[in-house]
Amino acid sequence: MTTEEILEKVKTGAMSIEKATALLKEQPFEDLGFAKPDYQRSLRTGFPEVVYCEGKEDAFLTAIFQKLYAKNGKVLGTRASNEQALLVQGVLPGASYDPVSRVISVCSEEAEKKEKIGNVAICCAGTADIYCAEEAARTAEFLGSRVTRIYDVGVSGIHRLLARVGDLSRANCIVAIAGMEGALASVVAGLVENPVIAVPTHVGYGANFGGLSALLTMINSCANGIAVVNIDNGFGAGYLASQINRLAVRGNRTSV
């Protein structure tokens, strides 16, 4: 829960001043010995701490999920295996798992009801990039953004992309995901005024160098308004897109 949400609940009478004070005074983290869950991250940044699952011991993973859920009412986990998802679902039965994006998410009923805001467009060049696109999309949705998915619009059939320019233009932020030579981000940025977050993927043949060729293309783009995240980092793109989307919505409310 963010500081703004706490104060809004106090304003409407849904939360007592005493309860709000206790929340704001709460220890910012808990030392579990093997981890220090950050309980006040949403108060500082607007978004709760996210769990990177890959490589974590089973007992550590389930304990961290339980602690964060108890405090925040919602948890997102990235790069999770099917086995890890089953472990989390064993302690948090409401958790869902998407094997394509490898994302685990669990939300309380109250968190689920919260309306999505703004619009983030997630586009990817080919269906082989959807794993990364879904990580970005599910991250953005978890963080409260409304998401428009635009898949399989690579530049080898550019008419497919041009048919969706209207949808791209209506978004507050665009995430452009591509492997191979990574040209999609440059083309998208040359068509719209919206900020573009480029994500290179490892998809491609030998000289793709595991995504390095796409990364270098995106970094060296001649189009303006592009920010580039790491190879396969759909989570980072979805997070940044949600920050931009939130600021855009806040700005629109201020200007009305």
Q: Is residue 124 located within the same domain as residue 248?
A: yes
Q: Are residues 34 and 149 in the same domain?
A: no
Furthest-apart CA atoms within the chain: distance in Å: 61
- Cα gap 207→205, rounded to integer Å: 6
Same domain, 138 and 93: no
Mean predicted confidence (pLDDT) in 162-191: 94
Residues 108 and 125 in one domain: no
130 and 164 together in one domain: yes
Do 126 and 219 lie in one domain? The reply is yes
**Listed residues 63, 78, 112: the one ending a domain:** 112
- Per the structure, the count of domains in the chain is 2
Nearest to 199 by CA among 100, 142, 125: 125
- 138 and 241 together in one domain: yes
Same domain, 107 and 58: yes
Supply the pLDDT for residue 19. Answer: 80
pLDDT band at 205 (very low <50, low <70, confident <90, very high): very high
Among 63, 92, 112, which residue terminates a domain? Answer: 112
Q: pTM of the predicted model, to two decimals? A: 0.84
Q: Position 63: which residue type?
A: A
Whether residue 193 sits in one domain with residue 179: yes
Q: In this structure, what is the dihedral angle of CA atoms 1, 97, 147, 181, given to the nearest 10 degrees?
A: 120
Domain of residue 46: give its range.
3-112
105 shares a domain with 127: no
Indicate the pLDDT class of residue 11, thresholds 50, 70 and 90: confident
What mean pLDDT do residues 42-53 have? 82
3-state secondary structure at position 64:
helix
Q: Which residue has the higher pLDDT, 21 or 230?
A: 230
pLDDT at 116: 92
Residue 240 and residue 127 in one domain: yes
Among 91, 112, 133, give the residue marking a domain's end: 112
CATH number, domain containing residue 179: 3.40.50.1970
Run of H or E residues at 198 = strand 196-200
Asked if pLDDT for residue 6 goes beyond 70, the answer is yes
Residues 130 and 181 in one domain: yes
